[in-house]
Amino acid sequence: MRRTAALRALIRETDVRPDDLIAPLFVKESIEEPVPISSMPGQVQHTLESLRKEAVEIAERGVRGFIIFAVPARKDAEGSEAWNPDGIAQQAIRALRGEFGDEAVVIGDLCLDEYTDHGHCGVLNERNEVDNDATLERYRRIAVAQAEAGVHLVGPSGMMDGQVAAIRDALDDTGWQDVGILAYAAKFASALYGPFREAAEGAPRFGDRTGYQEDPANLEEALREIRTDIAEGADVVMVKPALPYLDVIRRAKDETGFPMAAYHVSGEYAMVKAAAANGWLDERRVVLELLTSIRRAGADLILTYHAKDAADWLRG
């Protein structure tokens, strides 16, 4: 049953389809043309127009989900551009909704690190520590602003305690009951986010994020976080990164049966790109193998920077 490609396909247990993928896209305010991201070959910081064109090209390949990361021209201590109705994130959301209507899923990254001048995922207290509850109030504002701009889902990624419940209440209280929540439920304090921080210009100016992101050593704690987000009203829960945490994805899927996403992050993308550029790996085969492993572990959806190319390869 392994002798030919047709025989292998006949009994294949795990498939990856283009519509299993979500493409992360970056948009930056006050640039005239796309800016290449040096640590993520093939990815750029988009203008609004290039963002729209890229999304159309990706959608033509069968990918129907997009998550938007925005870089504003102005940053301040509380990240107020994140909930500005005319901010770059909201403009990007409106652009994609105007292009696709409901034919694609538009997701807004809901966090503060791209918007604060200190680069942390929340507002700071007098000790320069992230203030969890004060941050939740800002998350509520962002959720409503993104809903008004047209998102189908908001994606809270800051790992604040109670963030899903606060956002769900804010959306419901303002009449946006039909906007869903893709919760970064188990986001680990990983060393694989470096290229993303270049792309989103959101690296912390001091310290790190170990005080609020998950300890990579803790499986049971991650499962508790996932269950908590489900109880608070998440519609999809996500594990980030993907490949080092396939065991978390598998356990969470088995124990909850809940819609499960995994984020194949920038460092994972950059490693494959670097090896392929040196001729050490066959990029197509490696990417499809990695995406299959993430699906096999239990992920229903995969956020991946390989989405455009992978969709081509899957169709071919």
Q: How far apart are CA 245 and CA 188, in angstroms?
A: 9
Q: How far apart are CA 18 and CA 301, in angstroms?
A: 10
Q: How far apart are CA 183 and CA 228, in angstroms?
A: 11
Half-sphere exposure of 53 (CA within 13 A, CB side): 8
Residue 85 CB neighbour total at 10 angstroms? 11
Active site residue: 187, 253, 273, 308, which one?
187
Q: Token match 């439920």: residue?
A: 185
How far out from the chain centre does Cα 67 lie? 6
Checking DSSP bridges between strand 153-156 and strand 35-36, what pairing results, if any? unpaired
> Which two tokens mark 130?
């992230």
Strand, coil or helix: 243? helix
75 is catalytic: no
Q: Write down the H helix ranges in the chain.
A: 5-10, 48-60, 88-100, 132-149, 163-173, 194-200, 219-232, 246-256, 266-277, 283-297, 307-315
Query: Could you give the C-alpha distances from 307 to 1, 50, 60, 73, 270, in angstroms and in order?
Result: 30, 17, 12, 28, 14
Query: Could you give the C-alpha distances from 60 to 43, 112, 138, 268, in angstroms and in order?
Result: 18, 31, 36, 25
Active site residue: 28, 75, 240, 253, which one?
240
53 is catalytic: no
How far out from the chain centre does Cα 133 lie? 23
Q: How far apart are CA 287 and CA 307, in angstroms?
A: 10
Catalytic sites, residue numbers? 187, 240
